[in-house]
Amino acid sequence: MTPVNLKSLAEQLHLSIATVSRALRDSHEVSEATKVRVRALATALNYEPNAYASSLRRNVSKTIGVVIPKVANHFFALAINGIEEAARQSGYHVLIYLTHDDYAREVAIVQHLKGGRVDGLLMSVASGTEDFAHIKSLKDTNLPIVFFDRVCAEVATAKVTTNDYESGYQATEHLIQSGCRTIAHLLISNNLSIGQFRQQGYLDALTAHGLPPDPDLVLNGVMDNEQNVVLIRELLQRRPDIDGIFASVERLAISAYHVCKELGRRIPEDIKIIGFSNLEAASLLDPPLSTITQPAYDIGREAAKILIRAVEKKKDILPSQSLVLNSELFQRRSTAAG
């Protein structure tokens, strides 16, 4: 079976390759009559242009890369959903890379992307990343980059985030207004700005309501969930006065649930819990978990839109194009006043 490409089409139509190419791209330099002829044969033979030849020649791949820590996480899954939607609408393809929060993997991936495989990059940096040289070096190749959620402050480009400070403040305030006086903050400590913003919101909400911040109530979680359960258990046993928990990370809220059940602390009667989460099933938990939910889909979609717009216009992406989309507080039974 002969390959179906511009050459074979041209031969069958007794035209030049150039004319066939132009006809298919609807150029004004070719008559309507031949356009019709060309299109007819192309669809008849199921012609599809070779993406790599086209990309090579035009130096454009119609592909964007997405580098994220993980996909088995409802936030990132929803973000990909939004990204794919925006990409599809503009005819872009989506390459996915997972760092698993591993710095070395992130570096390797970023290095690979210098090969021109993508026209632009969406990125949520790994929590283990402390040195951003690899990202800067990629940006120096003029590859447009947009960060979302886990941004890299040191690289001057657009960032799409949620209002982490305000959300941390709101969550803490919500616990206070529900009657809590001794509020713990569970977080994963790393150098990501989002964690710091949430922590600051927590602290400011406490002081604003006359509650003195206590470092003993701030628990730095780790990667391993089993270990987190141990840490949280220790905290709750050491400080039986804790009556509220603000979890900056979904799985810390889940671990807190486990510990409370194990220790016989009733939620929300003895202790109230609120957490950042995109869990669909939050309302089905026992009890339903109050959440701060990020607009993950929108974050992904808007980030992709900014990126694609820049790629198409061949214009640099400015930090001023950054977007902050508000998270939403869903009040459920785990923080019911009582």
Q: Does residue 196 touch DNA according to CB under 7 A?
A: no
* Amino acid at residue number 69: P
Q: Does residue 40 touch DNA according to CB under 7 A?
A: no
Q: Does residue 93 touch a copy of itself according to CB under 8 A?
A: yes
The CA-to-CA distance between both ends of the chain, in Å, stands at: 76
Residue 263 binding target from a copy of itself, DNA, none, CB below 5 to 8 Å by type: none
Q: Does residue 266 touch a copy of itself according to CB under 8 A?
A: no
Q: Does residue 117 touch a copy of itself according to CB under 8 A?
A: yes
Q: Does residue 48 touch a copy of itself according to CB under 8 A?
A: yes
Q: Which listed residue (67, 254, 274, 292) binds a copy of itself by CB under 8 A?
A: 254
What DSSP designation does 210 have? T
Query: Cβ of residue 196: shortest distance to a copy of itself, in angstroms?
Result: 27
Closest CA to 223 of 125, 127, 97: 127
Cβ-contact 159, 135 below 8 angstroms: no
Query: What residues contact 92, with CB distance under 8 A and at least 6 apart?
Result: 62, 63, 64, 86, 119, 308
The span from the CA of 257 to the CA of 250, in Å, is 11
Q: Does residue 7 touch a copy of itself according to CB under 8 A?
A: no
State which residue, 158 or 273, has the beta carbon closest to a copy of itself. Answer: 273
Residue 332 binding target from a copy of itself, DNA, none, CB below 5 to 8 Å by type: none
Query: What residues contact 322, with CB distance under 8 A and at least 6 apart?
Result: 158, 159, 160, 161
Q: Does residue 61 touch a copy of itself according to CB under 8 A?
A: yes
Q: Does residue 181 touch DNA according to CB under 7 A?
A: no
Q: Which tokens go with 168?
A: 């941390």
Q: Does residue 257 touch a copy of itself according to CB under 8 A?
A: yes
Cβ-contact 188, 249 below 8 angstroms: yes
State which residue, 111 or 191, has the beta carbon closest to a copy of itself. Answer: 111
Residue 7 binding target from DNA, a copy of itself, none, CB below 5 to 8 Å by type: DNA
Residue 78 binding target from DNA, a copy of itself, none, CB below 5 to 8 Å by type: a copy of itself
3-state secondary structure of 228: helix
Rounded (10°) CA dihedral 77, 80, 84, 87: 170
State which residue, 1 or 33, has the beta carbon closest to DNA. Answer: 33
Residues 193-217, buried b or exposed e (16+ Cβ, 10 A)? Answer: bbbbbbbebbbbbbeeeebebeeeb
The span from the CA of 250 to the CA of 292, in Å, is 10
Query: What residues contact 59, with CB distance under 8 A and at least 6 apart?
Result: 116
Q: Which helix (H) or strand (E) holds 313?
A: helix 296-313
Q: Does residue 265 touch a copy of itself according to CB under 8 A?
A: no
Q: Which listed residue (44, 58, 165, 249) binds DNA by CB under 7 A?
A: 58
Residue 46 binding target from DNA, a copy of itself, none, CB below 5 to 8 Å by type: a copy of itself
What DSSP designation does 153 have? T
Stretch that binds a copy of itself, among 15-23, 85-93, 157-165, 323-331 (CB under 8 A): 85-93
Query: Cβ of residue 39: shortest distance to a copy of itself, in angstroms?
Result: 15
Helix ranges (DSSP H) in 61-152: 74-89, 103-112, 133-139
Q: How many residues interact with a copy of itself (rule CB under 8 A)?
A: 46
Would you give the distance in Å from CA 214 to the centre of its chain? 32
Return residues touching DNA (CB under 7 A).
3, 5-7, 14-19, 21-22, 24-25, 28-34, 47, 49-50, 53-54, 56-59
Return residues touching a copy of itself (CB under 8 A).
46, 48-53, 55-56, 61, 63, 70-74, 77-78, 80-81, 84-85, 88, 93-98, 111-112, 114-117, 137, 254, 257, 279, 281, 284-288, 297
